[in-house]
């Protein structure tokens, strides 16, 4: 079987565009919080498909709902209504407090829609173009041209510039830096309540409330990107709910579909009535019955399993164990993040630790060269945390 796995890897390198430096394993199946490669080796998964598999792998109710929908209808186009999209939208509205939903195929597409909605809102106010968006340094919002244009990491943007234009970058948790970017042309301020790729850095309550007040004062739209930090990951259904700083537009993806490619942008009724209208935006696959059946069942199971309470309980245990780990290793400088979205900041590159952990049956990912990112399925237990800590300790000792 080892030869078979190597054969697949070689075939992938010949057939796929080389835009990823993949780890040298071929994953075959999953069960609960574990993944298995083609050789049958088991891995404890603390990456969850980059914060996607909230329910873990093989949940029978979730997979059952998808199988049932496949037998009925998978696609119709948005020329017609379909029941899964209606039910999923109702549930998303209920858990978010937002008023209007547009389903997309991905998080990047949700960001694209949010940008368009904000610029259309401003255009309807003054009839002018050239409206500006303020985004944050070290942010990450996606790889499409619009999402890339508001991503505050130059190395991602520079090879593809010029982007959509009229984007300024400020510093997270530095209100003065935001204020210095505001002009009469500012139409939106976009940020992640907890930066993901940017290093697991949470926005502070004071900063978010200052931004919200500024937006209210100047009729600027606040766009919150909850693609990675939303869907219960921080111990709240959406990270902004911890402080009650409600956005005008919100983007979601990843955990909302638990492996099915689906995202959405949501908005308040005010924005919905004064932005995108018929003909302004569309998607062939967005909101199709299969994807929305996934969203509908995910939200149902979040409530049934009381996942928000569970995340708060197990994340407190995880934080305690990670803090103890920091005291044991001088190479770990600090911990940051929220809930089951945690980062360990090292004084050196973490790639050797990740590779060593993989060889020992633990899947981890990074968030920058020196930050280890832990974003496991939300169903992990304290026993899973103990298992992860034991492997991570050995991996740090051997890898650094």
Q: What are the residue boundaries of the structural domains of the chain, listed by start?
A: 2-55+306-399, 61-304
Nearest by Cα to 207 from 252, 253, 239, 237 = 239
Residue with tokens 């973490």: 350
Task: Specify the DSSP class assigned to residue 349.
Answer: -
Q: Is the pLDDT of residue 400 over 90?
A: no
Token duo for residue 179 = 């204020």
What fold does the segment set 61-304 form as a domain? 3.40.640
Token duo for residue 381 = 């237990």
Per-residue pLDDT band for 366 (boundaries 50, 70, 90) equals very high
Q: What percent of the chain has pLDDT over 90?
A: 98
Q: For residue 3, what pLDDT is reported?
A: 83
Pairing assessment for the beta strands 167-170 and 132-136 based on DSSP bridges? parallel
With 0.85 as the threshold, say if the pTM is over it. yes
Q: For residue 187, what pLDDT is reported?
A: 98
Domain 2-55+306-399 top-level CATH class: alpha beta
Query: Whole-angstrom Cα distance, residue 175 to residue 171?
Result: 8
Q: Is the pLDDT of residue 399 over 70?
A: yes
Using one digit for the tens of pLDDT, what is the confidence trace for 17-74?
A: 999 999 999 999 999 999 999 999 999 999 999 999 999 999 999 999 999 999 999 9
Please say whether the beta carbons of 152 and 185 come within 8 A: no
Using one digit for the tens of pLDDT, what is the confidence trace for 273-319?
A: 999 999 999 999 999 999 999 999 999 999 999 999 999 999 999 99
Q: What is the mean pLDDT of the chain?
A: 97
Query: Whole-angstrom Cα distance, residue 125 to residue 148?
Result: 26
Q: Is the pLDDT of residue 1 over 70?
A: no
Q: Is the pLDDT of residue 2 over 80?
A: no
């Amino acid at each position: 079987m080892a030869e078979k796995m190597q054969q697949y890897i070689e075939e992938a390198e010949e057939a796929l565009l080389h835009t990823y430096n993949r780890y040298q394993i071929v994953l075959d199946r999953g069960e609960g919080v574990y993944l298995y490669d083609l050789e049958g080796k088991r891995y404890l998964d603390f990456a969850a498909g980059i914060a996607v598999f909230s329910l873990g792998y093989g949940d029978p109710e979730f997979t059952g709902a998808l199988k049932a929908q496949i037998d009925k209808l998978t696609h119709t186009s948005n020329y017609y209504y379909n029941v899964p999209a209606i039910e999923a939208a109702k549930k998303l509205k209920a858990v978010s407090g937002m008023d209007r939903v547009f389903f997309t195929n991905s998080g990047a597409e949700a960001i694209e829609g949010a940008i368009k909605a904000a610029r259309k809102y401003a255009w309807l106010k003054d009839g002018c173009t050239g409206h500006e968006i303020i985004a944050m340094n070290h942010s990450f919002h996606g790889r499409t041209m619009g999402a890339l244009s508001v991503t505050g990491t130059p190395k991602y943007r520079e090879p593809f510039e010029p982007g959509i234009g009229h984007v300024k970058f400020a510093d997270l948790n530095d209100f003065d830096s935001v204020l210095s970017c505001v002009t009469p042309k500012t139409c939106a301020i976009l940020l992640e309540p907890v930066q993901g790729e940017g290093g697991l850095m949470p926005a502070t309550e004071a900063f978010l409330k200052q931004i919200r007040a500024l937006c209210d004062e100047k009729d600027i739209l606040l766009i919150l990107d909850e693609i990675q930090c939303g869907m219960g990951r921080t111990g709240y259904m959406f990270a902004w709910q911890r402080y009650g700083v409600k956005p005008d537009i919100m983007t979601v993806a990843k955990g909302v579909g638990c492996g099915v490619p689906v995202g959405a942008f949501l908005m308040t009724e005010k924005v919905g009535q004064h932005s995108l209208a018929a003909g302004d935006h569309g998607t062939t696959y967005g909101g199709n019955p299969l994807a929305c059946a996934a969203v509908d069942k995910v939200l149902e199971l979040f409530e049934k399993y009381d996942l928000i309470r569970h995340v708060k309980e197990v994340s407190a245990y995880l934080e305690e164990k990670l803090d103890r780990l920091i005291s044991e290793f001088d190479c770990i400088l600090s911990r940051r993040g929220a809930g089951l979205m945690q980062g360990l900041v090292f004084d050196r590159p973490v790639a050797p630790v990740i590779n060593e952990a993989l060889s020992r049956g633990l899947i981890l990912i990074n968030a920058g060269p020196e930050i280890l990112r832990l974003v496991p399925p939300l169903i992990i237990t304290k026993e899973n945390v103990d298992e992860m800590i034991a492997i991570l300790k050995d991996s740090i000792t051997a890898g650094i």
